[in-house]
Amino acid sequence: MHEAAYARLIWRLCQAKGINNWRDVVTQGRIEVGGRVVGLVHDGGDLDSKELSLHVEFEPVVPSDDGLYLRLLQANIRRHQGLKGRFGVHPDTGNAVYSLQVNAGPELDGARLAELVRKQVAGAAAALDDIRTPR
């Protein structure tokens, strides 16, 4: 995705969310939604790409809960209703992460992206609560 297209998309997202410092969001590549940090990643080297990756960081995965890793992997196959992404563990922080890829073509406006992100963050948080509770 070309840098200008990415900046335009983030500007529209920030407009929809009432965020004035959109340039900071473009530079830092993250936004807060529902009390969670959402990383916004695009491939600036691939000008033909329309893909925007979103990474939502949650609390740390407790190493003593061996079954949590398995439940995170199983959740990726079971797919909680409405979720489009996958769960994993951040390689640097050890926190649970929910990641998804969004087609950021011209039909994706800021309001639609803001609503998608809001729903995915809320859904991932609820799903992660279920995942953390062994059955």
Domain boundaries, the chain: 3-132
Task: Give Cα 91 to chain centroid, integer Å.
Answer: 16
Residues 6+ apart with CB under 8 A from 15: 22, 110
Question: What residue type is assigned to position 31 of the chain?
Answer: I
- The answer to whether 46 and 1 have CB atoms below 8 angstroms apart is yes
Q: What is the three-state SS of the chain?
A: CCHHHHHHHHHHHHHHHCCCCHHHHHHHCEEEECCEEEEEEECCCCCCCCEEEEEEEEEECCCCCHHHHHHHHHHHHHCCCCCCCEEEECCCCCEEEEEEEEECCCCCCHHHHHHHHHHHHHHHHHHHHHHHCCC
pLDDT of residue 121: 93
Pairing status of strand 36-42 against strand 86-89: unpaired
CATH 3.30.450.20 holds for 3-132 = no
pLDDT band at 4 (very low <50, low <70, confident <90, very high): confident
CA atoms of 91 and 89, how far apart (whole Å):
6
pLDDT, one tens digit per residue, over 84-135 is: 899 998 889 888 999 999 988 878 888 899 999 999 999 999 999 888 886 6
pTM score: 0.86
pLDDT band at 51 (very low <50, low <70, confident <90, very high): confident
- The answer to whether 72 and 87 have CB atoms below 8 angstroms apart is yes
